[in-house]
Chain A
Amino acid sequence: MSVRTGMKVSFIVLLLVLSAGCAQTGRIISADEPTLVGSRSAGADVYNRLIDETLRKLLEQSKGSGQSRKTICFVDLENKGAEELGENKAAIYEQIDTIIVESGVYANVSRRYVEAALRQTGLRPDEIFLGQGRQQFMLVLGGQGVTPDYLLWGTLTNLSTDGVNLREREYMLTMELVNAHTGLTEAKKSSKMRKEYTK
């Protein structure tokens, strides 16, 4: 190795040391700025859009005319995709709650009641859709004076396609409104969104 090479490499080391000390910064993002698009996974932008589109379509399809306000119990969002919802889950539930209430047609059962009823019955969310499970669940909620007309269920899936240095992922959210008394599906809607990632 030449003298010149030795000096060149030591310079690279020094640069790395100097650039390592950059401090973290933060700023408030104004309401009119677009949501940051996740570079490795779906992120808030994808979930916001999918939920907004799917749920509004579903509520629009199922609303009757001149009827009294019906009560929806949002049970769960099943994740059958390759990306975890993780800490986005709480925000997603809040968004669903807000859209239902804002519809003006439906009222939503508080998440606290749903979780308490699941705990008390020892049921997993998917077991509510079996006759016996649904009865138990409704009984516990009824004991608290809450009687939902519909059970709302969401399923998130995705399809991946790998290309050269690229990955395309299609995210699909399906939401289903089930009659709480009969167990029959009364409305079902889906929305899709595609996203491209560099590898």
Chain B
Amino acid sequence: MVVAVFAALSLSGCSTFSSRNESLRAAYGSANFSAADALVDGKIADQAGVKVELVRGSKGLDSAIDPLKNDTLLYLLDKGMTRLAQDDPATALRLFRRSRSALDATFQADSAALLKELASLFTDDSVRTYKGADYEQLMVRVMLALSDLVAGGGDAYAYAVQIGEKQEEIIGSPLGEITRDGVDSGYRPREQYRRIALGAYLQGVIREEALERDEAARAYGRALTISGGRSNLYTTALERVNGKLPSETGQGALHVFYFGGRGPYLGETRSNPTDAAIRLAGLAAFLVTGNVALIAQAPLPVPFVLVNDAHVPPLTVSSDGHVGVTETLLDLNSIAREQLNANMPWIMARVLLRRSAKAALATVAGRATERGTKSDGAGLAVSLFMGLVSTATENADTRSWETLPATIQAVRLELRRADGSIR
């Protein structure tokens, strides 16, 4: 019985998420958005357990499509990107909104939530309900704000505010804090995150458009502070609303947001557990099980960030005789890498715990076999076999929102004619 359960739980997956999505990434990355959209429909149908016709007909919005079932959520995010790329911001908006609500429902604010999920000890991380990387929590709100601006939904300001609110919630959350006998693990990965300023900037843009200069100035000031004063776009925006850079009467403003390059995704590698990971796993094991026996010798399967486009050149935008060059406001390659590195001790700790739990189960099975067969050799063979199977079949969790761009860049042009062509 124990062997049967163990085998079922160990055979959790032979290929990783990222390897299963190569064709989707290729289609989307080569701007073949209709093909990518069709591929995403198939993935959603497969993950949500519904017919592909239902997904296609409802553009992924039918209520029978449960975002929290398997990896549906990730493909709904992809669907939002393919709809946005195909000039359907209204559908993208609804898909992102649904995805955001699902991400909110799974958001882990503290370590208690992390300890609870140790129920996934016997499988691997890719079997857990997808919680979303912390930067994805922000990116879904960025996409909501930009989609709403394009669709004219009237909620762009709210989404822009939500970027900042969620960011502070994430950074201020005590996730990682684990104490044993009053001794703090000292591990707070989210404190290492850098803040993104795009939400504050978008708030400023919307308030400036409504001629509310004071509010716009406050928002631009926040954006400039968050960016460390390094952004020309934020600096000139602040100077403009403070009256230092006059705008001519009759001029209109054109903002171009450029999703530049193919975004990062996750691959799998093997890495030796760090001291921090071993310490965390020991604390977690003590809190959950009252036992700290860990097996920490072999390299662990862990995700790492794969970069498609490391350098995305700026875009030159011209209209009505005015020329501007985009500035990078978000570098997703760096953000994904920094956040994954910050969380790596906990990712490794989970694998360590899982491996140790499996080893314990293998020992149980070995002893049971030994008693049943009255043979020491048979018991040892069962233990070794199960140990080998569990290690060999373990995968890193490589799930991520793979259709995000590598960078989000922007440029602002002041134009006299509203109907001029844009190149």
Contacts and interface: CB of A to CB of B under 8 A. Distances in A.
A3 B364 contact: yes
Contact of B289 (A8, A80, A81, A83): A8
Interface residues of B, number: 40
B155 A9 contact: no
A156 B294 CA distance: 55
A9 B154 contact: no
Interface in A92-149: 126
A89 interface: yes
A78 interface: yes
A160 B51 CA distance: 43
A10 B5 contact: yes
Which among A7, A10, A76, A78 has the greatest number of chain B C-beta atoms within 10 A?
A10
Contacts of A7: 364
B157 A9 contact: no
Given A2-B291, A40-B104, A10 B122 contact: yes
> Helix, strand, loop or mixed for chain B's interface?
helix
A76 B153 CA distance: 11
A13 interface: yes
Interface string B333-345: 0000000000000
Interface residues of A, number: 29
A164 to B, nearest CB: 11
Nearest to B293: A1
Given A9-B118, A9-B119, A85 B155 contact: yes
Nearest to B9: A13
Contact of B154 (A40, A79, A199): A79
Interface stretch (B37-45, B184-192, B355-363): B355-363
Contacts of A86: 97, 153, 155
A12 B288 CA distance: 12
A16 B119 contact: yes
Nearest to A80: B157
Interface of B: 2, 5, 9, 94, 97, 104, 109, 118-123, 144, 148, 153-155, 157-159, 161-162, 165, 169, 210, 285, 289-291, 293-294, 356-357, 359-361, 363-364, 367
Return the 4 tightest CB-CB contacts between A and B, nearest first: A6-B360, A84-B155, A1-B360, A82-B161
